[in-house]
Amino acid sequence: MGCGNGHFLAAYCADHPEVAYLGVELKSKRCLKAVQKIERRGLKRAFILQAAAEQVLEALPDSSVDRYHIYFPDPWPKARHRRRRFLRGENLAHLRRTLRPGGELAFATDFLDYFLQAKLLCILEPGLELLPAGPGRDIFISVYGEFLAKKGRTVHALAARRLGP
């Protein structure tokens, strides 16, 4: 969700050719770059949708997704803008609903308060359990992950799993 120019998506799909992957991105130029990466690598199971991730979430059927990757979503650091953050209550309920049982969501940010907010929401969301380890090194193949690692910034990450049927 918010796949940017598809850096992570293309690398991940090349490493996991068995996975069908949908990247959702608002900005058309970034979508175009992501599509070019997919074509260059000949990835047959990767797709890009230009859309608001919130709308896609609402439209997805129950239990239809194995894994969400939500890396470095816009942080909306000002207090009055925080309700615009992608990982908020109503979106998390849709993330949980659309994950298959046992499916996971992975999240990373360099904003500590966003991380703490996301962690608390995952703990409070019925039917989700926080996993002891986050998404691991995967996040550093996203553009922002690479950039932040080079700058020595601390990246906070978590993963949560959908419980039960």
Site string for ligand SAM, 5-44 (x = CB under 6 A): --xx---------------xxxx--x--------------
Binding of residue 3 to ligand SAM (CB under 6 A): yes
> Residue 69 Cβ, how far from ligand SAM at the closest point, in Å?
8
Binding of residue 76 to ligand SAM (CB under 6 A): no
> Residue 31 Cβ, how far from ligand SAM at the closest point, in Å?
9
Nearer to ligand SAM, 75 or 127 (CB): 75
Binding residue for ligand SAM, selected from 12, 21, 68, 71, defined by CB under 6 A: 71
The backbone region for 103, taken as left when phi is positive above 0, alpha when psi lies in -120 to 50, beta otherwise, is beta
DSSP SS3 for 86 = coil
Binding of residue 74 to ligand SAM (CB under 6 A): yes
> Residue 122 Cβ, how far from ligand SAM at the closest point, in Å?
19
Selected range binding ligand SAM among 65-73, 91-99, 124-132, 154-162, rule: CB under 6 A: 65-73
Binding of residue 149 to ligand SAM (CB under 6 A): no
CA 37 to the chain's CA centroid: 19
For residues 27 and 55, is the Cβ–Cβ distance under 8 A? Answer: no
Q: How long a stretch of residues is the chain?
A: 165
CA–CA dist 163, 139 (Å, integer): 24
Q: Which residues are catalytic?
A: 74
> Residue 75 Cβ, how far from ligand SAM at the closest point, in Å?
8
Q: Output phi, psi for 122, to 5 deg.
A: -65, -40
Q: What is the DSSP letter of 106?
A: E
CA atoms within 13 A on the CB side of 73: 24
Q: Which residue has the tokens 């969400």?
A: 68
